[in-house]
Amino acid sequence: MKRPVKVLYMRVGESPEVVTIDHSLEAMQHLVHGYIELVRLSDGVDLWCNEEGLLDGSLPNRFVREVGGEIRGDFFIARTNDDGATVSIEDRDIKRYAQLFKL
């Protein structure tokens, strides 16, 4: 059974929004419109983006200092538990990253 995961979703040109998805590869790929790439941020938050964003002509989305440049295309952030599974983002993360990534 797939469990729901709350993520902070950043669409190109839009404000961040909290969405709930099924914990599945298909749901994650659907959000980023392609193959997913994981970027681990310094505070235990994971950023998931389209690994081919530069190659497929995706529009620039946000500059992310920790990756040393801009993320292209839609992306989302979530957390990972001690077992390595993707889990819901925490309220404190939502507050921090919604402010950081606001337009």
Q: What is the pLDDT of residues 40-96, one digit of tens each?
A: 887 789 999 999 887 777 888 998 887 778 899 999 999 988 888 899 999 999 999
What's the burial of 10, exposed, middle or buried (CB within 10 Å: 0-12/13-18/19+)? Answer: buried
What is this structure's pTM?
0.91
Asked whether the beta carbons of 103 and 60 are under 8 A apart, the reply is no
- Report the pLDDT value the prediction gives residue 1, as an integer from 0 to 100: 57
Helices and strands counted in the chain (H then E): 2, 8
- Per-residue tokens: 70: 């801009």
**Placement of tokens 């081919």 in the chain:** 52
**Strand, coil or helix: 97:** helix
Task: Find all residues with CB under 8 Å of 10, minimum gap 6, and list them.
Answer: 16, 61, 62, 71, 74, 75, 76, 77, 101
